[in-house]
């Protein structure tokens, strides 16, 4: 999917930034907004150290980090709405999953 490892690193930084931000909001009792709340211009901070002076490369890295952040935010929002994944209440069975054994 990614031609260069640096592209994967940029995408991952966006994913991790979104996950960290989303989970911080959720753990503080706030309801995270439906969409990634930061513009692409603010995503530059995630990848600025990966590009020395190459503006074209920096634009690519920013675009990848922003795409990663938006995708992760969408996945987390969806999981929160469905109460699945990391948002599954302790002791609750996941939808469509039967308990095996026991009473």
Dihedral angle sign, alpha carbons of residues 5, 45, 38, 60 = negative
Region 52-81: mean pLDDT is 92
Please check whether residue 97 lies inside any domain of the structure.
Answer: no
Please report whether residue 57 resides in a domain.
Answer: yes
Q: Of 64, 35, 67, 23, nearest to 47 (Cα)?
A: 64
Print the domain residue range for 10: 5-29+43-87
Instruction: Find the length of the chain.
Output: 103
What six digits make up the tokens of 84?
């699945």
pLDDT of residue 4: 85
Report residue 39 as tokens. Answer: 């513009």
User: Rounded CA gap, 77 and 38, in Å?
Assistant: 15
Tally of domains within the chain? 1
Q: If you search the block for the tokens 């930061």, which residue do you land on?
A: 38
Question: What integer pLDDT is reported at residue 101 of this predicted model?
Answer: 54
pLDDT of residue 1: 55
**Domain assignment of residue 14, yes or no:** yes
């Amino acid at each position: 999917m990614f031609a260069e490892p640096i592209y994967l690193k940029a995408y991952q930084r966006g994913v991790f930034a979104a996950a960290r931000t989303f989970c911080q909001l959720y753990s503080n009792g706030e309801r995270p907004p439906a969409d990634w709340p930061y513009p692409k211009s603010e995503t530059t901070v995630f990848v600025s150290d990966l590009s020395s002076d190459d503006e074209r490369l920096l634009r690519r890295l920013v675009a990848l980090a922003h795409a990663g952040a938006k995708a992760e935010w969408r996945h987390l929002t969806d999981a929160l709405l469905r109460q699945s994944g990391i948002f599954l209440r302790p002791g609750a069975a996941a939808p469509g999953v039967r308990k095996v054994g026991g009473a």
